[in-house]
């Protein structure tokens, strides 16, 4: 019989791609969603992309669960062979109270891991972020960020999002060390994720491209991210399942560092008819605006920063190079235009 993967947060942008890859690889998927109506959304999103959609209703099923409640978690784990925990909030604007991000991220991770351990599930793939690796400055003497680096959650310049991802991942590693030594944990740390969504219900990172296409901003902030294609992130989760070299490892899944300007140029090259800002705002202007806008204030520590990234572990796990992030940005824009979203 096919192995069953319990996929948390199944209605997310990345998670839908993971569900597609799992189904194509022969796994059964039991997705967790806040309401079962979101399960219909996921089924509709993956159906047309599957190599074989036969018996999809029996291969892709859903349970309604909440990260903030214990209700239903034990029952959801029954019969599952693998836990894939992707559920975690990713806001476009940082919240006023950082606990609004940190509490559900940490508590949700521990809730899923406790239920998996109770059910005897040994294999766990956990979605973290490069925010848990490169949220702080590169330590002196290091030439590039890799999986040995950790964001310092006590650093006052670290964003609430980076702090939430770091604390949630630390909680996962601590849980396995202290309470589930026989659990084989792999953590996937994707960067800024781009690439065509499977449907019109997409994530925060795609909204950045939507905003670029909308021409709402006359200039761009001088910031950037380690960027990756959503398909590479999904494939990494699946590839890690049966790869013993991935057990007990973090895998930073990134192609390259792209500034907002790099992304804008990639989108502009693919769609020269669109009015897309490519000028970079002076740092002093961003700092002034940050006095009045908390969302802008949160990016000030990242102004001018260019992160070097060592992605050799990711390449080794996939057995190939990463998809080009610039092309992913352009493909995201093309999807949004074709869907008349932007």
Tokens linked to 87: 């559920």
Residue with tokens 């610039």: 326
210 in Cβ contact with 337 (< 8 Å): no
Is 165 a known active-site residue?
A: yes
**334: Cα within 13 Å, side-chain hemisphere:** 11
Sheet strands side by side (includes 28-33) = 60-64, 28-33, 4-8, 82-85, 123-127, 184-190, 250-253
217 in Cβ contact with 211 (< 8 Å): yes
45 in Cβ contact with 199 (< 8 Å): yes
Please return the burial class of 153, using the count of CB atoms within 10 Å of its CB with bins 0-12, 13-18 and 19+. Answer: middle
Tokens linked to 196: 């065509």
Residue with tokens 């062979």: 81
38 in Cβ contact with 114 (< 8 Å): no
Say which of 165, 268, 275, 340 is annotated catalytic. 165
CA triple 335-340-342, angle to 5 deg: 80
95 in Cβ contact with 136 (< 8 Å): no
The three-class DSSP label of residue 269 is helix
* Residues taking part in catalysis: 165
């Amino acid at each position: 019989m096919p192995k069953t993967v319990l996929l948390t947060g199944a209605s997310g942008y990345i998670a839908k791609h993971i569900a597609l890859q799992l189904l194509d690889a022969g796994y059964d998927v039991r997705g967790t969603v806040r309401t079962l109506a979101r399960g219909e959304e996921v089924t509709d999103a993956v159906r047309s992309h599957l190599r074989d959609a036969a018996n999809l209703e029996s291969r892709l099923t859903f349970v309604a669960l909440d990260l903030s409640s214990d209700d239903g978690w034990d029952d959801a784990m029954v019969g599952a062979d693998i836990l894939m925990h992707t559920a975690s909030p990713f806001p476009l604007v940082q919240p006023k109270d950082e606990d609004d991000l940190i509490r559900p991220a940490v508590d949700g991770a521990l809730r899923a891991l406790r239920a998996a351990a109770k059910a005897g599930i040994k294999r766990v793939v956990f979605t973290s972020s490069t925010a848990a690796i490169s949220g702080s400055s590169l330590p002196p003497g290091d030439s590039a960020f890799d999986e040995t680096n950790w964001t310092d959650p006590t650093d006052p310049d670290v964003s609430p999002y980076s702090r939430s991802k770091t604390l949630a991942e630390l909680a996962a590693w601590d849980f396995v060390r202290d309470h589930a030594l026989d659990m084989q944990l792999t953590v996937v740390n994707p960067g800024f994720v781009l690439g065509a969504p499977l449907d019109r219900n997409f994530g925060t990172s795609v909204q950045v491209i939507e905003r670029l296409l909308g021409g709402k901003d006359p200039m761009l902030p001088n910031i950037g991210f380690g960027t990756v294609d959503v398909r590479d992130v999904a494939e990494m989760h699946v590839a890690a399942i049966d790869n013993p070299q991935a057990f007990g490892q973090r895998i930073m899944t990134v192609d390259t560092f792209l500034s907002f300007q790099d992304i804008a140029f990639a989108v502009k090259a693919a769609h020269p008819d669109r009015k897309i800002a490519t000028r970079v705002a002076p740092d002093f202007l961003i700092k002034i605006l940050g006095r009045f806008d908390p969302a802008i204030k949160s990016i000030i520590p990242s102004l001018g920063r260019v992160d070097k990234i060592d992605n050799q572990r990711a390449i080794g796990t996939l057995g190939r190079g990463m998809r080009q992030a610039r092309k992913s940005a352009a493909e995201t824009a093309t999807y949004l235009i074709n869907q008349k979203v932007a």
